[in-house]
């Protein structure tokens, strides 16, 4: 049965006024277009409580006491990786028997929800300080500055890869707090390695690196792909090139090569892939590729190239707009 709309307070007061004027329930119902039974209920409430306002509804009491709520909230605040089963056992030892669903509902009312822990770089104190310094120095950069940057990186895409997850209880906007993340380090693996670049104007070139990339190969990749990308993207004069501090990027010979080519290079703190919007572009590419389900390496490479070319410029533009937010997050989370 569909739920009927509640009468307005004005209508309820009119019912009482007409009743006091001597009108019958039937007459009142016809005059106001309200069921006789509803009119009778309003009049009985007024006679009993001297009001037509809604009375407080008791509802079912919460299974977990206020003290129990404080206990489990305090537990997950100290250790966001606490699983619901442990909380059920903690409450049972305190004399309260509940289900895992009740735990979830209770924590949700406290502003906590179960989320997959973010994977972030494993940071040493020196990395933390460098990231903070970089974020503070670049936070007030004009938006036009980031729009003149060509962002680059390498990534590996597996043919049948799966990403493991870990769920944590966290509050809104706390996804990058150290307790809510999974530290990671760079390592080998994957089926094909790609180098790519993009700017706010759209994706640049994407190539497959078939051999193990080294310092000697890197300048060749830039020479053959970076400048053509800049021309295709119609970058303004004085555009800036971004790459991370991977050893093959940061070697003195590579820096000298970039200087001779007159490339402006954006300084970059170590262990900071989360600051580079291309990481999200890689994720976009991997989702698109996975949806097409390539069955072999050749198909995987072809699909990667096809899907990269299909990524709209608006996606790239929106990713670059998150640059300031990324810097703010570093400062907020103190590293």
Residuewise pLDDT in 10s, the chain (335 residues): 455 677 888 888 899 999 999 999 999 988 888 899 999 999 998 888 888 887 776 667 788 888 999 999 999 999 999 999 999 999 999 888 999 999 999 999 898 988 888 777 777 888 888 888 888 877 776 555 677 899 999 999 887 654 445 677 888 888 888 888 766 545 433 579 999 999 999 999 999 998 877 767 888 888 899 999 999 999 988 899 988 877 777 666 677 777 787 888 888 888 888 888 999 999 999 989 988 888 888 999 999 999 999 999 999 999 988 888 888 888 888 77
Task: Name residue 150's beta-bridge partners.
Answer: 241
| φ, ψ (nearest 5 deg) of residue 68 | -65, -40
Contact 281, 152 (CB under 8 A): no
CATH architecture of the domain with residue range 125-333: 2-Layer Sandwich (3.30)
Pairing mode, strands 181-184 and 118-121? parallel
CA distance 52 to 306: 67
Task: Name residue 155's beta-bridge partners.
Answer: 194
Q: Which of 245, 240, 233 is nearest to 265 (CA)?
A: 240
Pairing mode, strands 202-209 and 192-199? antiparallel
CA distance 78 to 154: 37
The domain segmentation of the chain, as residue ranges, is: 9-49, 66-110, 125-333
- DSSP states of 155-220: EEE-TT------EEEE-TT-TTSGGGEEEE------SEEEEEEEETTEEEEEEEE-S---TTHHHH
């Amino acid at each position: 049965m569909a739920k009927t709309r509640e009468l307005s307070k004005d209508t309820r007061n009119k019912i009482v006024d007409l009743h006091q004027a001597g009108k019958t329930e039937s007459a009142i119902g016809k005059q106001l277009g309200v069921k006789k039974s509803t009119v009778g209920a309003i009049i009985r409430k007024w006679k009993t409580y001297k009001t037509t306002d809604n009375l407080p509804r008791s509802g079912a009491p919460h299974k977990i006491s206020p003290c129990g709520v404080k206990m489990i909230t305090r537990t997950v605040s100290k250790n966001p990786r606490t699983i619901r089963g442990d909380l059920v056992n903690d409450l049972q030892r305190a004399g309260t028997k509940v289900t895992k669903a009740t735990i979830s509902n209770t924590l949700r009312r406290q502003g906590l929800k179960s989320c997959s822990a973010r994977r972030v770089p494993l940071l040493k104190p020196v990395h933390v300080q460098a990231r903070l310094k970089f974020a503070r120095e670049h936070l007030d950069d004009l938006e036009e500055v980031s729009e003149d940057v060509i962002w680059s990186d390498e990534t590996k895409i597996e043919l049948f890869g799966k990403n493991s997850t870990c769920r944590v209880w966290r509050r809104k906007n706390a996804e990058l707090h150290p307790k809510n993340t999974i530290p990671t380090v760079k390592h080998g693996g994957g089926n094909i390695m790609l180098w790519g670049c993009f700017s706010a104007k759209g994706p640049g070139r994407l190539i497959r690196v078939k051999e193990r990339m080294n310092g000697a190969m890197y300048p060749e990749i830039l020479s053959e792909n970076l400048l053509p990308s800049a021309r295709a993207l119609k970058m303004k004069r004085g555009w800036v090139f971004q790459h991370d501090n991977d050893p093959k990027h940061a070697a003195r010979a590579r820096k000298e090569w970039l200087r001779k080519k007159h490339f402006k290079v954006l300084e970059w703190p170590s262990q900071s892939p989360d600051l580079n919007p291309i990481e999200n572009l890689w994720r976009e590419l991997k989702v698109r590729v996975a949806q097409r389900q390539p069955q072999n390496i050749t198909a995987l490479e072809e699909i990667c190239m096809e899907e990269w070319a299909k990524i709209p410029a608006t996606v790239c533009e929106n990713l670059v707009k998150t640059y300031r937010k990324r810097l703010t997050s570093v400062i907020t989370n103190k590293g």
